Structure 1
Amino acid sequence: MSGERSYGYRALFSEPGILVYALAAAFGKLQAGMFALGTLYAVADQRSYSAGAFVVAVSALGGLSTPLRGRLLDRYSYGPVLWTIMALHTVLVGGLLLNEHMRGPFWVTVASGLLGNLVAPPIGVVTRVMWRSVTTEKSRPTALAFDSVLADAGFILGPALAALVCATLAPWAGLAAVLFFTAVAMLLLPKNIGDDKASARQGDRHWAGPLASPRLVLLLGAALCFATSVSVLEIALATPHGADDSKVLSGLLVSVLAAGSIVGGLLIGAMTPALAKRATRLPVLLMALAVFSTALAFGNEAGWLVAVPLCLLTGLSFGPSFVAVYGRSGDLAPAGMAAETQAWAGTALQLGSAAGAGAGGVLLDVWGPPGALALAPVAAVIGAASAFAGDRLRTPVAKPLEDAVPESL
């Protein structure tokens, strides 16, 4: 009877070594949230904030190489790959800081930032693969939900910590902290992660990797639309509009969205595996996001007494949706492609955030925040349709080996 009741966080943290692995994930999420602001302050100290922002924008393009780094992890041992790219990452970040200290050419700083992010250790990818290998079926939904909560917390606390160390120590301290947290996270990761991956021959692997799976491509499309909706909501709500609006109120609304996401993730982690599976059906979650964001588009004009509860309800769908995207990606990952699959999921979310920011900015200029908010439910509905199509798509059954052998043999 006690075994049936063992689920949620109790089941997760009863697994051996989970606390250490949770710390590895936490440090990894912190460094991810600190890199952009650490770069901004390091460059702005010797040049200007506009120059720092340009370096941050260019270096963000390095995130597009995450699937390539994931493919390297799938093909070779995790340890050597991670520490090799960590060494390159450290050299390039150190080169950026040295060039700024010596007031060297700006193009060197830009190139160092871009290349440094191109070879940044994909700790987030590794930890998501890790959770699937160090947990049981009972504790895995909680682990994925906990990882989502850590990601939200990292993107809230990471920038604050970067600002703190840069203000109290030195402008370069933010990037130094990024390197420190990355190294600590790598040291805390399990040593045997990825040892059970399939040893498929090079010739057996499709050149497109996991993107050869139509179901996964549809899931990635849903993830992109989900991130677009979230990004549009954040930008529209962060923009004051109306005579009585203020930056404080706008910041409050965005904070409530983030709080709702954390609460939603925590709730998923506390559920039984069966209930968590039902609560993380991506098509349903995205339709809920469409409904709540539509209500928010209309209710945002009614004042903060209406907008704040609607923001909380809208944010509640964020955390479970992240759990659904990463969990389903792991389920659909072809044999021997777990890391690259998770990397593509993260890349789809990044592209969606960028698309939402760009489209939201244009709509803000044309129609203001209400017009920008209208895009959020549209993107969510398209994402729900893509996720539903992926769930309905049947996977071709491989022909048995004995049927494929010629009778003459």
Structure 2
Amino acid sequence: MEETPRDRHSAERPGYGQLLRTEGAWSFLVPGFLARQPYAMLTISIVLLVEHTTGSFGLAGAVSATAGISMALIAPQSGRLADRFGQGAVLVPQVFLHALTIGALVSVALLDAPLWALFVAAVPAGATAPQISPMVRARWAARLQGTPLMTTAAAFESVTDEFTFVVGPVLATALCTGVHPAAGLAAEAGVSLVGGLVFAAQRRTQPVPARARHAEAQGADTSYSGDRPPSALAIPGARVLIVAVLGIGTVFGGMQVSLTAFTESIGRPGINGVMYGVFAAGNMLAAVAVGAIRWKRGPQSRLLAGYPVLVLAAALVAVTAQMGPWAVLLGALGTLVGLCVAPCMITCFTLIETLVPAAARTEAFTWLTGAVALGQAAGSTVAGQLADHSGAGSGFFAPLAGTVLALLVLLLFRKALHPAHGGLVAARGLGHRTRVSVD
């Protein structure tokens, strides 16, 4: 019997070297990396521009949050359209619309328009932001479906996203402060347009659209019936994972605000960047390690084992922050939280591939990335309120509360995390499905 690519993927040890040797990978990885930079530049660029024109950080944060929430809520709909009609068909008009809406937002800010106009302009600016990361993940899933390399791909994307959020804000800040307050948004729109068009041109590696798959199944002479694929939200396991990732988002938002408040309260605001940096470094190191390991346990077991550890780490940080100004200890525990975040996040993105059919996979990935953004907004808001009213260290209870609630949902609905593939379950992890009975 001739060996198939899937057989070779299963036989070899999954790792980054093997992943990057996947046929066609570099054709979408390079433009995808460029095109996803604006995602990390958008909100900080809005903050810097609006603060410059209004003199209010509070107003700037509110406008930025409006764009972020709009992006999180609308992104899954663009993902659903991409699943149905193809990524290129959705991405090309989207990047042009995004450039226009960013231009409108910049004009409103620089022309001293009424404050309500800033919020109105922020909605389409966020709603049209291209969702490159979910599209890249969907391309990996289309090429690696049924192989252990999906976990490696999820880890690789997690590291890439983290790196993006290191480079993007730094670039945006340098442009806004060194060139012009609107230069960050101008660069965001330009990179989004160029990078998005180049990425969209890589049609050979994009997943087969549901519309084309349906037409092929019905026969070449049969016109498309117009049936729409089911939404990813119709799958119970996907809803559970959205809640899990929402909880992880509260860690990102809550830690960022709480560390800022904590370092200012002890009179050492300059170490805030270092403390958040070690948290991010722990996250990146864990992500690299997760992708290099050949897991013997399935993603469901890994998530249910890893999430309680994340909750415990968040609890240690919250309790320690109440005990005194122990910056070194708090930094070490922050690193521990980062080490716990990455395995849970990566496992959620790995698991969604086993739960959601190919026809709704881009939408599913956008729901997860959107949930991170919503959780981040909620975590930062709650942490800020707690820090203002109950002391600087109280903000750390926001990520603890978010992860505890998410863990409760995971435990209550853990059976939904097992895929319904006609009796096929992931007995040894992704790519090793075996027909067994599920109680």
TM-score, normalised via structure 1 length: 0.85
Report the more deviating stretch, 196-205 or 121-130: 196-205
- Structural mapping, 1:280-291, within 5 Å: 281-291=302-312
C-alpha distance in structure 2 between counterparts of 1:297 and 1:33, whole Å:
27
State the shift of 1:259 in Å.
Answer: 1.0
The residue aligned with 1:216 is 238
Q: Cα deviations across residues 247-267 of structure 1 (Å, max 9, x unaligned)?
A: 123433222111111111111
Q: Pick from 16, 33, 42 the counterpart of residue 26 of structure 1.
A: 33
Indicate if the aligned counterparts of 2:138 and 2:362 stay in contact, CA closer than 8 A: yes
Indicate if the aligned counterparts of 1:62 and 1:118 stay in contact, CA closer than 8 A: yes
C-alpha distance in structure 2 between counterparts of 1:279 and 1:75, whole Å:
28
Indicate if the aligned counterparts of 1:282 and 1:384 stay in contact, CA closer than 8 A: no
Count matched residues: 395
C-alpha distance in structure 2 between counterparts of 1:325 and 1:196, whole Å:
24
State the shift of 1:202 in Å.
Answer: 4.8
The residue aligned with 1:355 is 378
Matched AA of 1:381: V
C-alpha distance in structure 1 between counterparts of 2:51 and 2:266, whole Å:
34
C-alpha distance in structure 2 between counterparts of 1:278 and 1:98, whole Å:
47
Matched AA of 1:163: T
C-alpha distance in structure 1 between counterparts of 2:46 and 2:161, whole Å:
20
State the shift of 1:280 in Å.
Answer: 8.1
C-alpha distance in structure 2 between counterparts of 1:147 and 1:61, whole Å:
22
Q: Pick from 214, 236, 246 the counterpart of residue 199 of structure 1.
A: 214
Residue 59 (structure 1) aligned with residue 60 (structure 2): no
Matched AA of 1:376: P
C-alpha distance in structure 2 between counterparts of 1:232 and 1:101, whole Å:
31
Report the more deviating stretch, 390-399 or 311-320: 390-399
Indicate if the aligned counterparts of 1:38 and 1:174 stay in contact, CA closer than 8 A: yes
C-alpha distance in structure 1 between counterparts of 2:109 and 2:394, whole Å:
42
C-alpha distance in structure 1 between counterparts of 2:49 and 2:132, whole Å:
23
C-alpha distance in structure 2 between counterparts of 1:104 and 1:360, whole Å:
31
The residue aligned with 1:404 is none
Indicate if the aligned counterparts of 1:280 and 1:320 stay in contact, CA closer than 8 A: no
Q: Pick from 367, 372, 396 the counterpart of residue 344 of structure 1.
A: 367
The residue aligned with 1:156 is 166
Indicate if the aligned counterparts of 1:199 and 1:336 stay in contact, CA closer than 8 A: no
Alpha-carbon spacing, 1:92–1:378, altered in 2? closer, same or farther (3 Å): closer
The residue aligned with 2:342 is 319
Indicate if the aligned counterparts of 1:360 and 1:372 stay in contact, CA closer than 8 A: yes
- Structural mapping, 1:2-401, within 5 Å: 4=11, 6-50=13-57, 51-63=59-71, 64-103=73-112, 107-135=116-144, 137-186=147-196, 187-189=198-200, 190-192=202-204, 193-195=206-208, 197=210, 198-199=213-214, 202-203=226-227, 205-206=229-230, 209-240=231-262, 244-272=266-294, 274-275=295-296, 281-300=302-321, 301=323, 303-393=326-416
Alpha-carbon spacing, 1:318–1:112, altered in 2? closer, same or farther (3 Å): same
C-alpha distance in structure 1 between counterparts of 2:165 and 2:85, whole Å:
30
Structure 2: 5+ residue stretches without partners: 1-7, 216-224, 424-439
Q: Cα deviations across residues 174-225 of structure 1 (Å, max 9, x unaligned)?
A: 122212322343213531312154539655655xx22222222122122222
Structure 1: 5+ residue stretches without partners: 400-409
Report the more deviating stretch, 131-140 or 353-362: 131-140
Report the more deviating stretch, 192-201 or 245-254: 192-201
State the shift of 1:327 in Å.
Answer: 1.9
Alpha-carbon spacing, 1:150–1:243, altered in 2? closer, same or farther (3 Å): closer
State the shift of 1:288 in Å.
Answer: 0.8
State the shift of 1:226 in Å.
Answer: 2.5
Give me the identity figure in percent. 23
Query: For 1:7, what is the secondary structure of its paired residue?
Result: coil
Alpha-carbon spacing, 1:332–1:244, altered in 2? closer, same or farther (3 Å): same
Matched AA of 2:64: V
Report the more deviating stretch, 95-104 or 190-199: 95-104
Query: For 1:317, what is the secondary structure of its paired residue?
Result: helix
Matched AA of 2:33: A
Matched AA of 2:317: L
State the shift of 1:44 in Å.
Answer: 4.2
State the shift of 1:392 in Å.
Answer: 1.9
Query: For 2:207, what is the secondary structure of its paired residue?
Result: coil
Indicate if the aligned counterparts of 2:254 and 2:383 stay in contact, CA closer than 8 A: yes
Aligned Cα RMSD in Å? 3.0
TM-score, normalised via structure 2 length: 0.80
C-alpha distance in structure 1 between counterparts of 2:314 and 2:386, whole Å:
16
Report the more deviating stretch, 44-53 or 74-83: 44-53
Alpha-carbon spacing, 1:252–1:276, altered in 2? closer, same or farther (3 Å): farther
Report the more deviating stretch, 189-198 or 274-283: 274-283
The residue aligned with 2:429 is none
State the shift of 1:71 in Å.
Answer: 1.7
State the shift of 1:110 in Å.
Answer: 3.6
Matched AA of 2:125: G
C-alpha distance in structure 2 between counterparts of 1:247 and 1:94, whole Å:
35
Matched AA of 1:299: T
